[in-house]
Structure formats: structure tokens, C-alpha cells
Amino acid sequence: MTRAKLDFVSNSSFPSSHKVELLKVDNKDLSFTLTYWELCAAGSTSREILVYGKAHYEFTYPDNEGWAKGTIPTVFSVLPVLKIKDRRPSSTFQGKELVLAEASVIDTFLAGRFGLLGENEWESLAIKTFYSNIHYLRERYFSSVIIVPPELRKKAREDYLNGSLTKFCEDHEYHLKANGSNGHYVGNKLSLADIHLSNVIHFFATVPLGKMALDRFKQYESLWKVKETVEKVPEIAEWRQSATFKGLEEATLGFYVNMAGPEDQSEA
């Protein structure tokens, strides 16, 4: 099946030079539309950055029928996709939209737009480094635990818990202590890395590794403090109590529990 495609590269109607100019427009004059599945997971961090930044945003979700038919356009046949438009009525960009794809690109782009990449180039690099390592903790879960035969999932889960997850916690606890165990990865300010860690920990609360993963995270005080610090940010706290977020959370629980082996059902 050939899936409908979104324009990504320059073309005659909206060349790169114009896209660069659109990126110079103030956040308050832009609208952001993020399309991702009606789940938490890979779309969560971008959603929370938009919420935190008080952006003009819309969260949309593909319908299963349209997705199955290939009529929902994407860049690489996967989600999320972010569309950016100029909201100003008299804008020279009226009717144009800038498209971004890939969760990590969208996350870091939005983090830069909304002041979540530190105070200087070095802090930005450090935050992106932590973010990347956090991001792949979740990806390794899929490859190591979920995408294995059901009869092997229990052992795979235990190996992941005592291997990749524990090593991750040890490494990050070390660096968080070096930053003063203050609830942030870099300096004393909320960053992309902080929000992403909080989201990834929440993700583990909705999958068949469940309670054991959370118990392991809790053993590392500095790491757990980052999660708690993010949860106290007013915009994020309000979002996580919203009916929309609760719906995403319930949908995620329902989706991933179907990937658990029978012995995992009580822990999902």
C-alpha cells in the first residue's frame, strides 16, 4: 500500500527560504497541530511542551479506518507529525504549513522554541544528550520485551529490568547527583530532559513491566525527584489531571495490556 505523503522538502510554492522566515515568527503567532495515536508513549513529551509553553495547539488522532486505507498523510508512514502555521490573518504564509516528523526531532524543536534547552550551547548539548539516552530506554523496551514471542516475554522482562533499566538508573542517578540532586538534569531550570524522563517513567506505568519498573525507579532518589519536580509544574500538573490526559492514559493501558503474556496481566 502506498500511503499518502506530506510535503517535506522545498517546492516552488513554499521554498526553504520561506520556511526559515516562518520559523522566525513569534510563538504566540503560530499554531501547532500534533498528530499522534490516542496513546501516551512517543507523542507525550511534545504534547507536554506545547501545554507548558501555553502554545496555540491542537492534538489530533488518526482514525483506524483512514490509517488502514493509507489516506492519512505522513512523511515516513509513521507518527507523530507536527504541522506549524502562521495564525496572523494578514500573514504572507497564509495557507502554508511547515511539517516536521520523527518524535525526537519534534521534541527538540519544540523544546528550543519554548525555552527548554538551557541557557547556552553547552547546556543545550547536555540536555539533548540526556534526552537521547532517556529516549532509547523506551525503545529498547520495545525491542527487548514487547517484540519477542509471548512465551519468552517473562524472561525478557526480567533481563531488561535487571540489565538495561537498572544500568540506566545507575548512570542517571550519578549525573543527577552531580547536578545537586535538585530535580533537574542541568542547572536549576526545567528542561526537555526533565519532561522526557517524567514521561518515560509514566509510560512504564502503562505497560506490562508495570509495578516492578516503578519500584526500580523509586530506588534512585535523585532520579525520582525529577519526576516529582516535573509533576509540580502548574501547566503540566493541570494537563495530567485533565479528562483528555486521563483518556490517553486509559487507552495506553488497554493497548499495551494486550501485548503482555498471561503471567504479566496482574502487573500491567
Q: Which residues partner with 33 through β-bridges?
A: 58, 83
Q: What pLDDT, on a 0 to 100 scale, did the predictor assign at position 260?
A: 54
SS3 content of the chain, % helix, strand, coil (to 5): 60, 10, 35
152 alpha-carbon distance from chain centroid: 28
Query: If 0-12 CB within 10 Å is exposed, 13-18 middle and 19+ buried, where does residue 137 land?
Result: buried
What's the CATH number of domain 121-267, 1.20.1050.10, 1.50.10.20, 3.10.20.90, 1.10.3720.10?
1.20.1050.10
Residue 259: the pLDDT is 61
Give CATH for domain 16-113: 3.40.30.10
pLDDT at residue 52 in the model: 98
- The predicted-structure confidence for 135-191, as pLDDT tens digits, reads as follows 989 888 878 877 788 788 788 888 989 999 999 999 999 999 999 999 999 999 999
Can you tell me the distance from the alpha carbon of 81 to that of 34, in angstroms, rounded to the nearest whole number? Answer: 6
Whether the CA torsion 145, 150, 156, 157 is positive or negative: it is positive
Beta strands in the chain (DSSP E): 30-35, 56-60, 81-86, 98-101
Q: Residues of CATH 1.20.1050.10 domain(s) within the chain?
A: 121-267
| 56-60, strands of its sheet edge to edge | 56-60, 30-35, 81-86, 98-101
pLDDT per residue of the chain (268 residues) written in tens, 0 to 9: 788 999 888 777 889 999 999 999 999 999 999 999 999 989 999 999 999 999 999 999 999 999 999 999 999 999 999 999 999 998 999 889 999 999 999 999 999 999 999 999 999 999 999 999 999 898 888 788 777 887 887 888 889 899 999 999 999 999 999 999 999 999 999 999 999 999 999 988 887 667 888 999 999 999 999 999 999 999 999 999 999 999 999 999 888 876 654 444 444 3
What confidence score (pLDDT) does residue 263 get? 47
Domain with CATH 3.40.30.10 in the chain: 16-113
Our separate counts of H helices and E strands in the chain read 12, 4
What's the pTM value of the predicted model, to 2 decimals? Answer: 0.93
